Amino acid sequence: MTISFLRACYLFVCCLALAQTSSGQIPGPVSKKYPTLGKIVRDSPLLDQLIAADAKVEVLAAGFEWTEGPVWIKEGGYLLFSDVPNNAVMRWKEGEGVNVFLKPSGYTGTAPYGDEPGSNGLLLNAEGNLVFCEHGDRRLSVRSKDGVKQTLVEAYQGKRLNSPNDAVYQSSGDLYFTDPPYGLPLKWDDPRRELDFCGVYRLATDGRVTLLTKEMTRPNGLVFSPDEKTLYVAQSDPQRAIWKSFPVLPDGTLGKSRVFYDATPLTKQLPGLPDGMKTDAKGNLFATGPGGVHVFAPDGTHLGRIDTGERTANCAWGDDGSTLYITADMYLCRIRTKTRGAGW
């Protein structure tokens, strides 16, 4: 079965499901035998300890514009993810399929606003409330369980943020986030841009916002190592497509960075750029980038790649913590692994 055939078939199925949802009906049960795509590229036998030889990338749903920010909701057993251009958060659950969870998700204006107005990264705070990285409204927000949204941060030193992209909580309760220009209609050249850099920030529990670094041209996904001694940050710049690692200092700021892995040569051969990522309980890094999801050992050894064949944006652990859900262009996918997500 070819990728192009899958695109055509799944576009029809998802449009039908969304049409049912918009009329107030829940999509019917979905077959548990899903189409598959891609392959597993094994650069080290150590990958066999993480991903079984017969593991497949299953396509759960498709027909979206650009999927991002997956997050598993344990209470209820379902996945939420952003469809950024459509300004929506989608909900997928086994046996029910996909429906619209929230729209608008990241832009509440009425005038047209660029090609990526919606939410991007999604995550949960300690209380289980959903936190949004909002492109169009240029802020991080939190939604209480009664549906009320509040702004967490929208400015640094009196200047509007560019368009927060991804975020991660430290166990202290501090929120670390990236702020590239992708949500602005004209990106870096947009006259609405007020900051002359793209930063990595920390929002402390007392509300203080600290610029941690502005050395990265296009900071994107970020994640802590399980012991929180290292912060990994992806740079989605085709001129220097890299992942950096920063030591986390005792006061929560960042020490001198090093290049964890340089994927720039791969951008000439494979679709996509360094983007979202997660770690497993042993500190292995699952990082979306050129050609799918790259898997690294904690020491930076490249173990292999989950090759989706698509521009791959992000990933998240779900189910019992051993399933990796993947957002790849128009697709929502998953792969069963032999490991378990950090903090699960």
Over residues 148-191, the pLDDT tens digits come to: 999 999 999 999 999 999 999 999 999 999 999 999 999 999 99
Q: 13 pLDDT exceeds 90?
A: no
pLDDT of 26 over the 60 cut: no
Indicate if the pLDDT at residue 73 is higher than 50.
Answer: yes
The yes-or-no verdict on residue 12 having pLDDT over 70 is no
The pairs formed by 101-104 with CB atoms below 8 angstroms and a separation of 24 or more are: 102/143, 104/136
- Amino acid identity at 40: I
Residue 22: pLDDT band with limits 50, 70, 90 = very low
What is the model's pLDDT at position 9? 52
Which pLDDT score, from 0 to 100, does residue 81 have? Answer: 98
| CB contact burial 156-190 (16+ within 10 A = b; e otherwise) | beeeebbbbbbbbbbeeebbbbbbbbbbbbebeee
CA-closest candidate to residue 324, choices 339, 304, 309: 339
User: Tokens 């549906």 identify what position?
Assistant: 147
Angle (CA) 302-285-43 rounded to 5° is: 20
SS (H, E, C) 203-232: ECCCCCEEEEECCCCCEEEEEECCCCCEEE
Name the β-bridge partners of 167: 177
Select 3-336's CATH number: 3.40.50.2300, 2.120.10.30, 2.40.30.260, 3.40.50.150.
Answer: 2.120.10.30
Residue keyed to tokens 């949802």? 21
- How far is it, in rounded angstroms, from Cα 258 to Cα 230? 11
The mean predicted confidence, pLDDT, of the chain is 93
Q: Are 118 and 131 in contact (CB under 8 A)?
A: no
Q: What is the pLDDT of residue 23?
A: 32
C-alpha torsion 87→92→97→102, nearest 10: -30
How far, CA to CA in Å, does 157 sit from each of 163, 182, 187, 215? 16, 21, 21, 18
- In this structure, the number of other CB atoms found within 10 A of the CB of residue 22 comes to 10
Pairing of β 331-336 and β 67-73:
unpaired
Q: What is the pLDDT of residue 79?
A: 98
Q: What's the pLDDT score for residue 159?
A: 98
- For residue 247, pLDDT beyond 80: yes
Q: Are 68 and 329 in contact (CB under 8 A)?
A: no
Q: What is the pTM of this model?
A: 0.92
- Taking 70 as the threshold, does the pLDDT of residue 25 lie above it? no
Is the C-alpha dihedral spanning 182, 212, 173, 295 positive or negative? Answer: positive
Distance in angstroms (rounded) separating the CA atoms of residues 48 and 53: 7
Report helix, strand or coil for 7. Answer: helix
